[in-house]
């Protein structure tokens, strides 16, 4: 293990089923999903299943800056998480990290493309606006690496804090669904016509989702009793621009390195929060990786049936739910899973699982062959 201990100070999930982590976890324990059937011609000509906020949802009061929906979502989530921390955003020892895959890309559908719009849709523009809103003292760090962005942002924060460069990290992620994003996944034939079924024999694609999430980390010893970010690692398949590795060896490499970085062994992992998108190739690759890592007996869940795939927020909100699972000693079932559909069998959670859980592994994979794994523990 390297450097200082990194503790989880506070967090928030802002989703269509709850405005706080506590509200969200309560809904998930009751098996409530944010994924519903929608009829929105601004996104698709056909009805579709997704997790979307109600139209006109404003997230923040008194917006004098003409923030976009994406920025309002970030501001609302960060604002709630900061309420539970004891340091000021303007502290020079605090770094702000933004995770997103698409940011304000939806503006391309409603605005004229020119130099001003090019500047407006840049993630750096949103990061500065959000940073200025809270008065963060340091230049924001932006993490945008396909679907591992949320997990990679946590690993980035962990590494910056371990190095002693900062004492605190405020890590926030969000994405909102637009026609541009929907049509991209549709062109891959990656969308399910119903609620997705991770790891199931009849899985037929993913659902998209909107969400915001924030996690605050610190090396301050006063948080010593809190859950820790114990280790993390990233890898790349170098296989294909959109198709994952056929073997899972590269994700397995990231998993093994993350466990090693945490100073632990495979036997210390009590459950796995998988990426589990419910696409044919992702779930098969992930099952292979879990086997190659020697973790096939460990309980596994995917949260995609509750939230859909929330892109830049996914790794963050699924990590926060995993942390909450550790706190409550309760692992959530995989919504939509009925019959095993991967060639390497996994121990998929099918009902609420109680136990004495000390450590969990969170995995993520994405376009371009990127993979990430992070370990949280008591």
Claim to verify: residue 242 and residue 114 sit in the same structural domain = no
Return the pLDDT at 239: 83
Among 204, 223, 242, residue at a domain's last position: 223
Q: Does any domain span residue 175?
A: yes
The 8-class DSSP code of residue 225 comes to T
Claim to verify: residue 202 and residue 319 sit in the same structural domain = no
Q: Does any domain span residue 157?
A: yes
Among 192, 223, 254, residue at a domain's last position: 223
Q: Does any domain span residue 67?
A: yes
CA distance 82 to 88: 8
Return the pLDDT at 58: 92
Rg, the chain, Cα only = 19
Return the pLDDT at 200: 98
Name, in order, each residue with C-beta under 8 angstroms of 88's C-beta and a sequence gap of 6 or more. 94, 135
| Residue among 51, 167, 31, 146 at smallest CA distance from 99 | 146
Q: Does any domain span residue 196?
A: yes
Q: Burial, 285: exposed, middle or buried (Cβ in 10 Å; 0-12, 13-18, 19+)? A: buried
Claim to verify: residue 196 and residue 344 sit in the same structural domain = no
DSSP characters for 107-148? GGGTS--SHHHHHHTSHHHHHHHHHHHHT-SSPPEEE-BTBT
**DSSP E strand stretches across 156-262:** 168-175, 208-209, 211-218, 228-236
Three-state SS for 159-176 is: HHHHCCCCCEEEEEEEEC
Return the pLDDT at 185: 95
Q: Which domain holds residue 46?
A: 7-223
Tell me if 57 sits within 8 A of 17, measured CB to CB.
no
CA distance 327 to 357: 8
CATH number at residue 181: 3.40.47.10
- 65: tokens are 């800056």
CA distance 35 to 227: 29
Return the pLDDT at 88: 87
Claim to verify: residue 77 and residue 128 sit in the same structural domain = yes
Return the pLDDT at 291: 98
Model confidence, pTM: 0.98
Return the pLDDT at 29: 98
Claim to verify: residue 219 and residue 251 sit in the same structural domain = no
Among 175, 202, 223, residue at a domain's last position: 223
Q: Does any domain span residue 2?
A: no
Q: Does any domain span residue 1?
A: no
Claim to verify: residue 36 and residue 149 sit in the same structural domain = yes
Name, in order, each residue with C-beta under 8 angstroms of 156's C-beta and a sequence gap of 6 or more. 97, 141, 143, 171
Q: Does any domain span residue 208?
A: yes
Claim to verify: residue 254 and residue 371 sit in the same structural domain = yes
Return the pLDDT at 154: 99
Cα angle: 192, vertex 153, 310; to 5 degrees: 20
CA distance 90 to 12: 20
Q: How many domains does the chain have?
A: 2
Three-state DSSP class for 215?
A: strand
Return the pLDDT at 72: 98
Claim to verify: residue 120 and residue 266 sit in the same structural domain = no
pLDDT tens, the chain, 378 aa long: 567 999 999 999 999 999 999 999 999 999 999 999 999 999 999 999 999 999 989 999 888 899 999 999 999 999 999 999 988 899 999 999 999 999 999 999 999 999 999 999 999 999 999 999 999 999 999 999 999 999 999 999 999 999 999 999 999 999 999 999 999 999 999 999 999 999 999 999 999 999 999 999 999 999 999 999 999 999 999 888 888 899 999 999 999 999 999 999 999 999 999 999 999 999 999 999 999 999 999 999 999 999 999 999 999 999 999 999 999 999 999 999 999 999 999 999 999 999 999 999 999 999 999 999 999 999
CA distance 248 to 285: 5
Claim to verify: residue 272 and residue 324 sit in the same structural domain = yes
Claim to verify: residue 38 and residue 144 sit in the same structural domain = yes
Return the pLDDT at 305: 98
Claim to verify: residue 15 and residue 39 sit in the same structural domain = yes
Tell me if 373 sits within 8 A of 148, measured CB to CB.
no
Claim to verify: residue 39 and residue 94 sit in the same structural domain = yes
Tell me if 174 sits within 8 A of 213, measured CB to CB.
yes
The 8-class DSSP code of residue 326 comes to H
- 315: tokens are 């790794």
């Amino acid at each position: 293990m390297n450097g200082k201990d990194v503790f989880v100070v506070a967090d928030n999930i802002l989703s269509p089923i709850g405005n706080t982590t506590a509200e969200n976890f309560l809904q998930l324990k009751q098996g409530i999903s944010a994924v519903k059937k929608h009829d929105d011609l601004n996104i698709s000509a056909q009805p579709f299943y997704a997790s979307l906020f109600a139209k006109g949802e404003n997230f923040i009061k008194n917006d004098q800056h003409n923030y976009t929906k994406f920025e309002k979502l970030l501001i609302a989530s960060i604002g709630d998480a900061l309420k539970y921390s004891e340091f000021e955003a303007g502290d020079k020892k605090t770094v702000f990290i933004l995770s997103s895959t698409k940011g304000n890309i939806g503006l391309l559908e409603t605005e004229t493309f020119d130099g001003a719009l090019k500047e407006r849709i840049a993630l750096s523009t949103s990061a500065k606006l959000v940073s200025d809103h809270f008065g963060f003292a340091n230049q924001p760090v932006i993490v945008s690496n396909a679907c591992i962005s949320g997990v990679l942002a946590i690993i980035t924060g962990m590494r910056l804090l371990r190095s002693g460069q900062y004492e605190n990290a405020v890590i926030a992620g969000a994405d909102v669904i637009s026609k541009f994003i929907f049509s991209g996944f549709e062109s891959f034939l990656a969308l399910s016509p119903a609620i997705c079924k991770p790891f199931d024999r009849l899985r037929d694609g993913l659902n998209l989702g909107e969400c915001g999430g924030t996690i605050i980390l610190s090396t301050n010893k006063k948080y010593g009793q809190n859950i820790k970010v114990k280790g993390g690692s990233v890898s790349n398949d170098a296989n294909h621009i959109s198709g994952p590795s056929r073997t899972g060896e590269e994700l397995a490499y990231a998993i093994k390195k993350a466990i090693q970085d945490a100073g632990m062994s495979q036997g210390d992992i009590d459950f796995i929060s998988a990426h589990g998108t419910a696409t044919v190739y992702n779930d098969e690759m992930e099952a292979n990786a879990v086997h190659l890592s020697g973790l096939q007996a460990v309980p596994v869940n995917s949260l995609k049936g509750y939230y859909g795939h929330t892109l830049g927020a996914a790794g963050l909100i699924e990590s926060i739910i995993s942390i909450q699972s550790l706190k409550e000693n309760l692992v959530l079932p995989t919504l939509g899973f009925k019959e095993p559909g991967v060639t390497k069998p996994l121990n998929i959670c099918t009902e609420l699982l109680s136990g004495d859980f000390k450590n969990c592994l969170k995995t993520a994979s994405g376009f371009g062959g990127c993979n990430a794994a992070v370990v949280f523990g008591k």
